[in-house]
Amino acid sequence: MAFVNEVVSDADIDAYGLPFEKGKGHWWTRDKERDLYLWGGRGGNPLWDEEIQGRFHLFISGSSLRLAISLGRWSHNWHVKPYHIVWDQLLWIDPPDMGGLERKHVISVLKEALLAYGRDGWENINTPDRVVTFGF
């Protein structure tokens, strides 16, 4: 099974201790078979001199990692086909030792999850025809 975008079940909120209110339809990108997930999204407010970044939580091999990724150039119009998404630079991972996991493995799983995550980690209704690339 590969990564898919889906609504987090109440049972998964309990099982993983996720900070979501039950029944509110929060989305994640999950590979159930391999017990991997990614949740988060773009955040930051340029009005407060904050750079917009991808801010995510990645659960891999029993470890929960937090990370930030700078955005590259994205398509500005949903009607562009294909829609382009560029995750430019991995800014940081916490914990820095990645829970003892190999960096190459973490990066590989992260890229795989982001390919499914697409533009918004939901259904990607507006950008089903998309190309996701990485600068890291």
Q: What is the pLDDT of residue 124?
A: 87
Q: What is the pLDDT of residue 1?
A: 62
Query: In Å, how far are 23, 59, 85 from 35, measured between CA atoms?
Result: 22, 8, 26
Q: What is the pLDDT of residue 26?
A: 96
The count of C-alpha atoms lying within 13 angstroms of the C-alpha of 12, restricted to the half-sphere facing its C-beta, is 19
Q: Distance (Å, rounded) from C-alpha 115 to C-alpha 73? A: 16
Q: What is the pLDDT of residue 44?
A: 84
Q: Give the chain's residues under pLDDT 50.
A: none
| Threshold 0.85, pTM exceeds | yes
